[in-house]
Structure 1
Amino acid sequence: MKAFYKILSVVFGVLLLVTGCKSENGNKAIADDVPVRLELLFLGHSIEHHNSRAYFPILASALTKDGINITYTEDVNDLNERNLSLYDGLIVYANHEEITPSQEKALLDYVREGHAFIPIHSASFCFKNSPEYIDLVGAQFLEHGTGTFTTDIIKKEHPIMQNVEPFSIWDETYVHDKIADDITVLMERVEGDHHEPWTWVKEYGDGKVFYTAYGHDERTWANPGFQNLVKEGILWAVGDTPRENWIAFAAEIPTLKYEEKPNIPNYEKRDPAPKYQLPLSP
């Protein structure tokens, strides 16, 4: 009996080792040439202003159907080498005031080594104690008003913009400071004679940065035009291998089909009423 339990404990230990290795490596345990979805980390915050807790699910649910998975955190300590290595890119939408030297190094190294960085809206006013972070974003928030506006696409030939159309939305009218010399402006907000850089990209080492000033509240986050803009920014910013694997993965995602059925409940009185989803094959 003692021998049995000894063998059992050895087997259990091996299982722990194997599962532990899989967990530690996350999606990076998958081979480079296997169809796989994109994995993004989303850094938010716990305050209600720029309510990342509420807006993150809107974006995540919109992009998951396209094979882009987003994991949410509010802990700046997650900006470390081991954790960041699990993801193809980092989204920041928050109001964190400061970043520690170790967190800053992990973030800068992560992008420099070839990963995607997607700062959105208030991310341009995060980590004000770090000039290197401000340069990474490409500018720093200075001030804003509010209004309904449509930005102008000025680089339609850029890969991101080829599948993006202008859209009108109410949002904060950001004005930026400390604008870097190496950004490529894709969209600008025109107000009178003033042309404000609004959406831009830049390269940072082997990595790529995509920033847009859109994103104050749910009106923007729920807008299909904004969701598509962020999606195209992600697809451009991730590395070649993750993008190629995603293309292969997305090609396998089945197209959902629906048909009218007389007995589907519609308690919310949605218009149009929900339809019956046809079953998928095994």
Structure 2
Amino acid sequence: MKISRPLRALVVVDGSDVHHDLLGASSALRDIVLEAGVVAEPALGLDRFVDAAPPTSEADVFVLYRSSVAFDPAQQQALADRVAAGAGLVLLHASNLFGYGPHGMAGDAVAHELFGSTYVSHGSNGSEGTYTVEVVGEHPVTAHLGDFVLEDEYYVISTRDDVTVIAERSDPDGGTQPVAYVRDHGAGRVCYIALGHDMRAWGSPYFRQLVRQAVLWTGGVEAEDIQSWSTRFPLGNGRFIGPGAAEDPS
């Protein structure tokens, strides 16, 4: 894929900061996206998808950090239409809070289909702790990353059948829980990452690389080009922190 101009990403936060530091997330995520060589701008609120001014209409990728149980159907449909037309969508952490409004899951049906999952609970681990994120299979979003340890909130999510899980964690009952997955929506690509409650995650080089590669993949960057784009920061010079790092001659 020839990039005729830099990719443009809009980092959108929405909701209340009672449980999630939306301002901190906006700043941290913008820096992470910039590290990938992608033009990134912060934005607040979901009405922008309904009345799309140039910063929204010209964006190639939307990075959404949502902390709200309210999601107007018109906003849902407008965002779904943008992704179906080819925009990329990276969803983080609590963005999939669905079914809490007066109309239950029916009121969030469009977004639920677009996002591919819904938050269920923190599970029996408690709300947070340290755990291992295990890469599943091979995918451009997790390429150049091995399994890694992170301190973050535990999320239990319910996924739709059309998602492809690319990272997971073990739960105390002997099963696994999805941590990241991808899906297609029309001409667009969607990636959900359950991680990212606060700076413990945002400051992790593994989390940062995972998000960078999610932005690049959803933005249409070819798989063979993702390494040089996504690993230039914080390690630089095309080095990476996953499998193969030990062979780095520098």
- Shorter chain as denominator, the TM-score bin is 0.7 to 0.9
Give the Cα separation in 1 of the matches to 2:51 and 2:195: 29
Match of 1:154 among 120, 129, 136: 136
TM-superposed CA distance for 1:99, in Å, is 2.4
Match of 2:80 in 1: 108
Match of 1:184 among 164, 169, 178: 164
Match of 1:92 in 2: 64
TM-superposed CA distance for 1:79, in Å, is 1.5
The one-letter code sitting in structure 2 at the alignment partner of 1:136 is L
Match of 1:142 in 2: 120
Aligned length: 215
Higher alpha-carbon Rg? 1
Structure whose residues are more often helix by fraction: 1
Alignment TM-score, normalising by the size of structure 1 = 0.69
1:117 and 2:98 correspond: no
The one-letter code sitting in structure 1 at the alignment partner of 2:177 is E
Is the Cα–Cα contact under 8 Å of residues 95 and 126 in structure 1 kept in the other structure? no
Match of 2:41 in 1: 71
TM-superposed CA distance for 1:134, in Å, is 1.3
1:207 and 2:188 correspond: yes
Share of identical aligned residues, percent?
A: 27
Is the Cα–Cα contact under 8 Å of residues 73 and 110 in structure 2 kept in the other structure? no
- Superposed CA offset, 1:5-30 (max 9, x none): xxxxxxxxxxxxxxxxxxxxxxxxxx
Q: Give the aligned CA root-mean-square deviation in angstroms.
A: 2.6
3-state SS, counterpart of residue 117 of structure 1: strand
Alignment TM-score, normalising by the size of structure 2 = 0.77
Match of 2:200 among 219, 223, 230: 219
- The 3 A distance-change label for structure 1 pair 154 and 33 is closer
Give the Cα separation in 1 of the matches to 2:52 and 2:31: 26
Is the Cα–Cα contact under 8 Å of residues 150 and 167 in structure 1 kept in the other structure? yes
Is the Cα–Cα contact under 8 Å of residues 36 and 212 in structure 2 kept in the other structure? no
3-state SS, counterpart of residue 102 of structure 1: helix
Unaligned runs of 5+ in 1: 1-31, 258-282
Match of 2:240 in 1: none
3-state SS, counterpart of residue 209 of structure 1: strand
Match of 2:9 in 1: 40
TM-superposed CA distance for 1:127, in Å, is 7.6
Give the Cα separation in 1 of the matches to 2:212 and 2:71: 27
Give the Cα separation in 2 of the matches to 1:114 and 1:97: 26
- The 3 A distance-change label for structure 1 pair 113 and 173 is same
3-state SS, counterpart of residue 160 of structure 2: coil
Give the Cα separation in 2 of the matches to 1:65 and 1:198: 22
Match of 1:236 in 2: 217
3-state SS, counterpart of residue 94 of structure 1: strand
Unaligned runs of 5+ in 2: 101-106, 237-250
Give the Cα separation in 2 of the matches to 1:167 and 1:197: 15
Is the Cα–Cα contact under 8 Å of residues 32 and 211 in structure 2 kept in the other structure? no
Is the Cα–Cα contact under 8 Å of residues 115 and 239 in structure 1 kept in the other structure? no
Is the Cα–Cα contact under 8 Å of residues 77 and 111 in structure 2 kept in the other structure? no
Match of 1:194 in 2: 175
